[in-house]
Amino acid sequence: MTTLDETDLEILRLLVEDARRPYSDIAERVDRSAPTVSDRIDRLREIGVVRRFTVDLDRSTFTEGAEVLVELELEPAAGDRIAEGLAAVDAVEHVLTTADARLFAVATVRPERVRSMLANAIDLSRVESLRVHLLEDRVWSPHVGDADLALECDECGSTVTGGGHSLELDGRRYHFCCPVCRSRFEERYASLSESA
Amino acid sequence: MTTLDETDLEILRLLVEDARRPYSDIAERVDRSAPTVSDRIDRLREIGVVRRFTVDLDRSTFTEGAEVLVELELEPAAGDRIAEGLAAVDAVEHVLTTADARLFAVATVRPERVRSMLANAIDLSRVESLRVHLLEDRVWSPHVGDADLALECDECGSTVTGGGHSLELDGRRYHFCCPVCRSRFEERYASLSESA
DNA sequence: GATGAAATTAGTTCAAG
DNA sequence: CTTGAACTAATTTCATC
């Protein structure tokens, strides 16, 4: 896991919101120059944090058919091939596979065509159960975790307010809601390191 | 539903793939000038086909926690409020609600924090069942339907190759794999209209 | 790493078909 | 609905800190 500084996170947040925002605008908001923003974005692409610049489309405005969520229970061994088969289908936008051998696919398709779409894309004999949910609403709200705002205490889990109590151990920063939690965590960490 | 021409669809495809591609580059590929591409993209934004320009992030490179799919079965009346509550949570990226009163949310969170995250975001008393799936893989493959390439016959469902056999009835165009399917469809349509 | 100034490249406006 | 030419704006390079 890469550790990004607050400037990188803010750049990501601004790009998620509007990837066409001029670098000069981003630069102003993060209090750096435009070339710096350009360099950092290049770096974020190189290390794979930014997969690509893209557009979020509302398919319902130009595609026939309804959005459906297809839920498959698979033979444990079949997962990867089936996921690939589905991802290649034009109507399928998302494919999720779970550790418990299920697969969820979001597709835009006429409901009466779901079966034939599946039959063409994958080997249905390796599917143990199939459910199709009609989607009513779909929200994509990409957030970038804000290290200073929506943080949970690493000791007790409650929300950390203010910027107060943190601790760096072995190159990773931990955050706490109060000094009590911080010292408890510190003690546990010390005895853990000792026994290792 | 808006009808987009083949040029619009190709522009969308190119933008989905790389939204930073210069307009001159897009212009060349769709055989139009850069100002035309600019105008069309503006129009696509205005009519809501393009929701926004954004970046696709690989959160696993910089976020702690695993990706999970939370599946809730809701009291039928509770859907919207609960979806809103979840979408507002920083760790939650997607929220899907289904016609059968289920809700699916994709989140990046430490698995032992899922319960507390849900308890903070929503009223759990309105949730009838809760399942958490650990996600193994997640693929986003945004396609833009190609009207000429990946079309299914409106009579028999098989793939339509070539541009041959189509029919316009009451303002909507239907596509067929062969003239036989076209005339069968035409007959059924005629008798259907008659009885209505 | 970061910067300002210069050079390059991209995007938009506009008059016209 | 489209275009080429002119104009405006954004991005990258580079010398320097």
Contact B143/A98, CB-based, under 8 Å? no
Res A149: pLDDT: 43
Q: Is the pLDDT of residue B151 over 90?
A: no
Res A152: pLDDT: 64
Mean pLDDT taken over chain A: 85
A3 vs A24: CA distance, rounded Å: 25
A11, A14, A57: best to mutate for the B interface, most B CBs within 10 A? A57
Identify the band that residue A129 occupies on the pLDDT scale cut at 50, 70 and 90.
very high
Give yes or no for a contact between A118 and A130, defined as CB atoms under 8 angstroms apart: yes
CATH 3.40.50.300 fits B59-134, yes or no: no
Identify the band that residue B152 occupies on the pLDDT scale cut at 50, 70 and 90.
low
Please give the CATH architecture assigned to the domain spanning B1-54.
Orthogonal Bundle (1.10)
Residue corresponding to tokens 């349509």: B189
Res A148: pLDDT: 40
B76 Cβ under 8 Å from any chain A Cβ: no
Q: Is the pLDDT of residue A161 over 60?
A: no
- From-to residues of CATH 3.30.70.920 in chain B: 59-134
Q: Is the pLDDT of residue A46 over 60?
A: yes
Kindly state the average pLDDT of the residues B134-147: 82
Q: The whole model's pTM is what?
A: 0.72
Mean pLDDT taken over chain B: 84
For residue A104, give the H/E element and its range.
strand A102-109
Q: Which of A1, A20, A56 sits opposite B51 (nearest CB)?
A: A56
Instruction: Pick the range with the lowest mean pLDDT from A57-71, A105-119, B177-191.
Output: B177-191
Res A162: pLDDT: 47
CATH 3.30.70 fits B150-196, yes or no: no
- From-to residues of CATH 2.30.170 in chain B: 150-196
Backbone angles phi, psi at A192, to 5 degrees: -70, -45
Res B72: pLDDT: 97
Contact A53/B91, CB-based, under 8 Å? no
The nucleotides of chain C lying under 7 Å from a protein CB are 1-5, 9-14
Identify the band that residue A11 occupies on the pLDDT scale cut at 50, 70 and 90.
very high
- From-to residues of CATH 1.10.10.10 in chain A: 1-54
Per-residue pLDDT of A17-28, as tens digits, reads 999 999 999 999
Per-residue pLDDT of B83-118, as tens digits, reads 999 998 988 999 999 999 999 999 999 888 899 999
What is the chain B residue with the closest CA to A49? B58
With CA atoms as reference, report the closest residue to A159 among A172, A168, A148, A169.
A148
Residue corresponding to tokens 């005895």: A191
A142 touches strand D (CB under 7 A): no
Q: Is the pLDDT of residue A177 over 90?
A: no
Res B158: pLDDT: 65
